[in-house]
């Protein structure tokens, strides 16, 4: 919780709030949290759960590896997954 209450995240959130997007454009909390973590946290403090499919419309993460997709009984389309893994 220290990160979310810290100076960097608070300034980031206050800036976004001042632009009106949270209220007028309905910017959601999940993308805001993800973007903040990607910007402000060291890479070794982040965890990619590649084996878990997740959708926050309009973005989808679907496991790329066939065995993870099958084991998780995913119904998502890996070809429509957002981004590429850099591993």
- pLDDT digits 0-9 by tens, 32-82: 998 999 999 999 998 888 888 888 777 888 888 888 888 888 888 888 887
Are both 55 and 87 inside the same structural domain?
yes
Are both 9 and 30 inside the same structural domain?
yes
Are both 65 and 85 inside the same structural domain?
yes
Are both 32 and 56 inside the same structural domain?
no
Q: What CA–CA distance (Å, rounded) separates 40 from 29? A: 16
Are both 36 and 9 inside the same structural domain?
yes
Are both 58 and 32 inside the same structural domain?
no
* The overall pTM is greater than 0.85: no
| Count of structural domains, the chain | 2
For residue 73, what are the domain limits? Answer: 50-87
Are both 16 and 35 inside the same structural domain?
yes
């Amino acid at each position: 919780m220290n990160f979310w209450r810290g100076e960097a995240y608070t300034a980031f959130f206050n800036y976004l709030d001042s632009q009106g997007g949270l209220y007028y454009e309905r910017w959601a909390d999940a993308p805001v949290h993800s973007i903040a973590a990607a910007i402000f946290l060291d890479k070794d403090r982040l965890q990619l759960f590649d084996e878990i499919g997740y959708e926050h419309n309009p973005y989808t993460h679907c496991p790329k590896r066939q065995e993870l997709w099958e084991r998780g009984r995913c119904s998502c389309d890996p070809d429509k997954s957002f981004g590429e893994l850099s591993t």
